[in-house]
Amino acid sequence: MLGKEGKRIAWRVLRLTAGWFLIVIGVVGLFLPVLQGILFLASGLAVLSTESRWARALLDRFSAWRKARRRDGDPT
Protein backbone atom coordinates (compact mmCIF):
# COMPACT_ATOMS: atom_id res chain seq x y z
CA MET A 1 0.00 0.00 0.00
CA LEU A 2 0.95 3.61 -0.39
CA GLY A 3 2.27 5.40 2.62
CA LYS A 4 1.24 8.88 3.67
CA GLU A 5 3.77 10.47 1.31
CA GLY A 6 2.71 8.21 -1.57
CA LYS A 7 -0.94 9.17 -1.17
CA ARG A 8 -0.03 12.84 -1.13
CA ILE A 9 1.96 12.48 -4.35
CA ALA A 10 -0.81 10.43 -5.98
CA TRP A 11 -3.42 13.11 -5.15
CA ARG A 12 -1.11 15.83 -6.46
CA VAL A 13 -0.60 13.99 -9.75
CA LEU A 14 -4.36 13.43 -10.02
CA ARG A 15 -5.11 17.14 -9.46
CA LEU A 16 -2.48 18.22 -11.99
CA THR A 17 -3.71 15.72 -14.57
CA ALA A 18 -7.35 16.71 -14.08
CA GLY A 19 -6.50 20.42 -14.25
CA TRP A 20 -4.52 20.11 -17.48
CA PHE A 21 -7.22 17.89 -18.99
CA LEU A 22 -9.82 20.57 -18.27
CA ILE A 23 -7.54 23.25 -19.74
CA VAL A 24 -7.12 21.24 -22.97
CA ILE A 25 -10.89 20.65 -23.20
CA GLY A 26 -11.39 24.39 -22.62
CA VAL A 27 -9.05 25.34 -25.45
CA VAL A 28 -10.84 22.90 -27.76
CA GLY A 29 -14.15 24.31 -26.54
CA LEU A 30 -13.16 27.79 -27.66
CA PHE A 31 -13.31 26.56 -31.25
CA LEU A 32 -16.20 24.09 -31.06
CA PRO A 33 -19.72 25.44 -30.60
CA VAL A 34 -20.90 22.47 -28.48
CA LEU A 35 -18.44 22.98 -25.62
CA GLN A 36 -18.30 25.89 -23.18
CA GLY A 37 -14.60 26.69 -23.48
CA ILE A 38 -14.50 29.41 -20.84
CA LEU A 39 -16.22 27.15 -18.30
CA PHE A 40 -13.65 24.38 -18.78
CA LEU A 41 -10.75 26.84 -18.73
CA ALA A 42 -11.95 28.37 -15.47
CA SER A 43 -12.50 24.92 -13.95
CA GLY A 44 -9.04 23.78 -15.01
CA LEU A 45 -7.47 26.91 -13.54
CA ALA A 46 -9.39 26.37 -10.30
CA VAL A 47 -8.04 22.82 -10.01
CA LEU A 48 -4.50 23.85 -10.95
CA SER A 49 -4.55 26.83 -8.59
CA THR A 50 -4.30 24.44 -5.64
CA GLU A 51 -0.86 23.40 -6.91
CA SER A 52 0.51 26.33 -8.94
CA ARG A 53 0.98 30.00 -8.15
CA TRP A 54 0.74 31.02 -11.81
CA ALA A 55 -2.66 29.34 -12.12
CA ARG A 56 -3.89 31.09 -8.97
CA ALA A 57 -2.73 34.47 -10.32
CA LEU A 58 -4.41 33.83 -13.67
CA LEU A 59 -7.62 32.71 -11.97
CA ASP A 60 -7.59 35.90 -9.87
CA ARG A 61 -7.18 38.01 -13.02
CA PHE A 62 -10.04 36.12 -14.70
CA SER A 63 -12.28 36.70 -11.66
CA ALA A 64 -11.46 40.41 -11.61
CA TRP A 65 -12.21 40.64 -15.34
CA ARG A 66 -15.60 38.97 -14.84
CA LYS A 67 -16.49 41.29 -11.95
CA ALA A 68 -15.54 44.35 -14.01
CA ARG A 69 -17.71 43.19 -16.91
CA ARG A 70 -20.69 42.65 -14.64
CA ARG A 71 -20.19 46.01 -12.97
CA ASP A 72 -20.18 47.70 -16.38
CA GLY A 73 -23.56 46.16 -17.19
CA ASP A 74 -22.46 43.33 -19.50
CA PRO A 75 -24.54 40.25 -18.56
CA THR A 76 -21.99 37.71 -19.86
- Give the pLDDT score at 4: 85
Look up the pTM and report it: 0.76
- Give the pLDDT score at 48: 92
Three-state DSSP state, 14: helix
Residue 16 domain flag:
yes
Residue 9 domain flag:
yes
Residue 39 domain flag:
yes
Residue 76 domain flag:
no
Residue 35 is part of which domain span? 4-71
How does pLDDT run across 25-35, given as a tens digit for each residue? 999 999 998 88
Residue 62 domain flag:
yes
Cα 60 from chain centroid? 11
Residue 51 domain flag:
yes
In angstroms, rounded to a whole number, what is the distance separating the alpha carbons of residues 24 and 40? 8
Q: How many domains does the chain have?
A: 1
The pLDDT-based confidence of 1 (bands split at 50, 70, 90) is low
How does pLDDT run across 8-56, given as a tens digit for each residue? 899 999 999 999 999 999 999 999 988 888 899 989 999 999 888 988 8
